[in-house]
Amino acid sequence: MHPFRTALLFLFVLGTRGLFADANSTKISAAEYFVDTDPGEGSGTALTAQDGAFDSEVESIALVDLNVSGLAVGPHLIGIRYKDDNNTWGEVLYQTIHVYDPNPSIDHNATTRLEAEDSNVANASSHQAILTENGTTYVDLGPNGAKITFNYNSFSDLNRTLRIRFKSKGQQRAMGVFVNNVKIGTINSSSSSWIVSSLNSNLLIGSNSIEIRDSENTDELDIDWLEIDGSASSNSSAGFAT
**pLDDT, tens digit, for every residue of 93-124?**
888 887 876 655 555 567 888 999 888 888 88
pLDDT score recorded for residue 104: 54
The whole-number average pLDDT for the span 148-176 is 88
**pLDDT, tens digit, for every residue of 208-220?**
999 998 888 888 8
pLDDT score recorded for residue 1: 33
Query: Which comes out higher in pLDDT, residue 187 or 3?
Result: 187
pLDDT score recorded for residue 18: 41
Say yes or no to pLDDT of 12 above 50: no
Q: Chain-wide mean pLDDT for the chain?
A: 79
pLDDT band at 21 (very low <50, low <70, confident <90, very high): very low
DSSP strand pairing (6-9 vs 173-179): unpaired
pLDDT score recorded for residue 171: 84
pLDDT score recorded for residue 82: 87
pLDDT score recorded for residue 96: 82
pLDDT band at 164 (very low <50, low <70, confident <90, very high): very high
pLDDT score recorded for residue 62: 79
pLDDT score recorded for residue 100: 74
pLDDT score recorded for residue 103: 58
pLDDT score recorded for residue 6: 40
**pLDDT, tens digit, for every residue of 166-206?**
999 878 889 999 999 999 999 999 999 999 999 999 988 88
pTM, 2 dp: 0.53
